[in-house]
Structure 1
């Protein structure tokens, strides 16, 4: 890995950006080996939008002012900037900001207000409308605090460490090992950069906009990881949501590092073939999409994969608007309002997406309730609370995701779900416990007609009979 390291002030950084390679000696940024670092600052298309708000601006100003009052002669350290130096065909270098765009953009806005003569001659380019709107809001806020800005900001006393690599991949590898300033990228942000870098530059802007249109991806990625990891053939452990670094590493490994290098956009799915007596063959595909557990390729393939499942999640889980499946829609709306079932809800969503990606809407209303009986059984078979680690244990004992994935038809899947034996632990089903409230709601939703005294002995049989058409 070839890395150049240099220390520079914000004043030097902006001066270099303005005058490109025609550096004045006093403003030249020199690396530790004595070589000048040159290039125009640039924000790659695949970077997330500029999102700092007044809270971050206020915090930065307060920190700089506190430092100035205590150490007026010492520079204020703003952390590291990680840059990829890209050589363009015209011989000019471009310094792509890999880590630090929030700080650099904010300081650029301050510089323009402090020195209006920079005007049109200075400025990073922002095509993303989110960035453009936030810049307008922040400029207005900074203008309103201009006196405070003039009192505490001296660009020549604000200092960065520059880390410059010649390879984009090296820049991202270095970024992942550093604890630099600013808001750290999460797993979805890192895989975004990975896949957009794999897209042909001609289409990067198009796919960057497509990615931004997906919105928040944490939920769908969590569901997909459950579907991919919780299987008996290739079982893998998922870290707890509280282990944020491990979660990020898992996302990056599974959905970026371990994806194939091929540029092909490949999807997998089940095909139903019928061969007639004369040998003719007709084929039917249940769903025109991707398989949860399929291998992925870097770039367009993975972007389309995430987009497909985000759309499924929105349509069938997050905000269903399905007049032709009114009963299913009503049931999902009820299900998402259950208390004390957050971890179970995560598994249920993974199961639901896996089923829909294989079989579409075929028998979806019935399957949704059958899945509920299996997945939410943990709410009544546990003595008290449903803990996060108990869900992975449950899947090992009851491989419900495999039942779906290995089924060839909806009928086959329904039979596997119906074989599950529901049990009720008699603890904590009195009074106003979470468990008791859950059973009350299930009793009402499914019309089980049970009184409190019947819960221990008859709840499991009544729900099973209602959902499967048979008793235990």
Structure 2
């Protein structure tokens, strides 16, 4: 067992906290093992981060050798004679890499191959490990080989060990809320894993799926820029989110399930009993029911973006639906000539290039997610073009787009477009709103130049936007966007 202040975990539901040396963690007295569970995030430290660590260690050796050098805390979940790292894998992995380069055949990894179960299947992990090894081998090998034994004699951690995984996740959340700021996704994961008390199988399954969805911190973008805004930008109450806003919405405002392992669902496009009624002069009213099917893909989960969210299972399933929906809309290839294919072609032509303002792109993507959530692919190509018509007024009219522009687009109308989408029964209600609330004179009167006086292309954001639209609608022989509304209708 890993000894913490000479104490060992022997009792059920026991938490032990104390300090221990780095070399004691990997002493493996008693035959235990240490592993990184497969649901943990990838190894993300790079050469710059490890270089900073080595510089700190060099300073310690030169000025404070013989004194304890603390490297923060490590959280372990202990079960069946093994220790899973809940928090601390980045530091421990980095130190093991340094130990391997310093000691080679006598390193911890070489002597305890079966005990150190650090497996990295993510390409992100592999890339960063190779980068770190190459950097250290090239620049730091001599110093490490001459000083590593001094370093490991002084290296120590605060260690928390529990044999309840729920306690480990809970401590992780509390510690990080008081220390270095993590992304909202890290807090949400920990908070809702804690709700799955006494259900460690579900904790592991949801944690693993969460980290798969969170590649490159995607879930921070999804919750901040899409889901929170889609739920919170209502009426004239439109403002940019803070991390506290996001945590309030998806932690404290979530509901406790009434029945364990059961998630309440509400009427949505994925959850409706009937899709039409018919009248027969003999039988009266006949109800045409929607087909009932059990679909396992996350995009088909019966949730609505603005619905109440339940803690634990409900939150994780809800999150999976919108992660899957976002990737389906913007990162998936669709059947040629389908509505989704046509939308994607328009999006790639006009919005995916780097010249378009990120503020307008974020608003565009948010509206597309909200529309698909309501109507799926029905008329989605038409909506994509009308949405651009609605947003494009600001791109044409303003020489510069600021962070407040997206807020103005939604707030300064009598009604908020996001509310219109959420409350509409048919797509035509959304299209009618856009037509009625778009200042078409901006397009009719625009004089954005495409060429300079020497006949060369002007590489400016408004010119590039206009050029992209003319090219998409195959109107490159024209010099104006005055007929844009008619082009959409064709």
Which of 374, 387, 398 is the matching residue for 1:371? 387
Q: Are 1:102 and 2:90 an aligned pair? A: yes
Distance in structure 1 (CA, Å) of the matches to 2:222 and 2:22? 39
Cα distance change, pair 288–45 in 1 and its aligned pair in 2 (3 A): closer
Which residue of 1 is the match for residue 222 of structure 2? 220
Aligned to 1:446: 473
Give the distance between the partners of 1:331 and 1:451, measured in 2 at CA: 19
**Is the counterpart of residue 328 in structure 1 residue 356 in structure 2?**
no
Given the two structures, how large is their TM-score scaled by the length of structure 1? 0.75
Map 1:227-306 onto structure 2 (within 5 A): 227-232=230-235, 235=237, 237-239=239-241, 246-247=242-243, 249-262=244-257, 263-268=261-266, 269-270=268-269, 271=272, 273-277=275-279, 278-284=284-290, 288-289=300-301, 290-306=303-319
Residues in 1 aligned to 2:474 and 2:275: alpha-carbon distance in whole angstroms: 40
Between 415-424 and 48-57, the greater mean CA deviation after superposition: 48-57
Distance in 2, Cα, partners of 1:437 & 1:135: 37
CA distance, structure 1, for counterparts of residue 127 and residue 379 of structure 2: 46
Determine if the alignment matches structure 1 residue 194 to structure 2 residue 191: yes
Separation of aligned partners in 2, 1:360 and 1:85: 43
Q: Secondary structure at the match of 1:346?
A: helix
Question: Which residue in the other structure is 2:296 paired with?
Answer: none
Query: Which SS does the other structure have where 2:285 is aligned?
Result: coil
Distance 1:205 1:5 in 2: 23
8 Å contact 1:343–1:388 — kept in the other structure? yes
- 1:83 alignment counterpart: 75
Tell me the distance in 2 between the aligned counterparts of 1:285 and 1:376: 39
Unaligned runs of 5+ in 1: 23-38, 240-245
Of 368-377 and 191-200, deviating more is 191-200
Q: Does 1:424 align with 2:442?
A: yes
**How far off is 1:332 after superposition?**
1.5
Q: CA deviation at 1:41?
A: 6.1
1:463 paired with 2:484, answer: yes
Q: CA deviation at 1:346?
A: 0.5
Q: CA deviation at 1:46?
A: 4.4
1:307-326 matches, within 5 Å, as 307-325=320-338, 326=341
Gaps of 5+ in 2: 1-13, 293-298, 453-457
| 1:242-280 C-alpha deviation (Å, 9 max, x unpaired) | xxxx34x44433334433332434544143542333233
Q: Distance in 1 between matches of 2:309 and 2:119?
A: 29
RMSD over aligned CA atoms reads: 3.9
| Alpha-carbon spacing, 1:266–1:71, altered in 2? closer, same or farther (3 Å) | same
Quote how far apart the aligned CAs of 1:5 are.
Answer: 6.5
- Give the drift of 1:68: 1.7
* TM-score when normalising by structure 2: 0.73
Q: Secondary structure at the match of 1:81?
A: strand
- 1:373 deviates by 0.7
**Could you give the per-residue CA deviations for residues 157-176 of structure 1, whole angstroms, max 9, x where no partner exists?**
12334467894424411221
1:143 & 1:438 partners in 2: Cα distance?
48
Which residue in the other structure is 1:435 paired with?
462
Q: Secondary structure of 2:117's match?
A: coil
Q: Structure 1 pair 105/407, CA: closer, same or farther in 2 (3 Å)?
A: same
Could you say if the C-alpha distance between residues 259 and 236 of structure 1 is closer, same or farther in structure 2, counting changes exceeding 3 Å? farther
**Separation (CA, whole Å) in 1 of partners of 2:246 and 2:465:** 33
The answer on whether the counterparts of 2:300 and 2:321 sit within 8 Å (CA) in structure 1 is no
Q: Name 2:5's counterpart in structure 1.
A: none
Aligned counterparts of 1:170 and 1:260: Cα–Cα separation in 2: 22
User: Does the 8 Å CA contact 1:52/1:134 hold for their aligned counterparts?
Assistant: no
- 2:175 maps to what in 1? 174
**Contact 1:126–1:132 (CA under 8 A) maintained in structure 2:** no
Deviates more, 1:430-439 or 1:168-177: 430-439
For 2:276 and 2:435, locate their aligned partners in 1 and report how far apart those are by CA, in whole Å: 28
Contact 2:33 2:117 in 1 (8 A): no
SS of the residue 2:249 aligns to: helix
Cα 1:134–1:228 change in 2 (3 A) is same
Tell me the SS of whatever aligns to 2:112.
helix
| Aligned equivalents of 1:308, 1:342: Cα separation in 2 | 24
CA 1:403–1:448: 2 relative to 1, 3 Å: farther
Instruction: Please say if residues 259 and 295 of structure 1, whose CA atoms lie closer than 8 Å, have aligned partners that are also in contact.
Output: yes
Q: Which deviations, in whole Å up to 9, do the C-alpha atoms of 1:74-94 show, x marking residues without a partner?
A: 44442x2153676x6x8x8x8
8 Å CA contact 2:343, 2:384 repeated in 1 = yes
Conserved? CA contact 2:173–2:190, under 8 Å = no
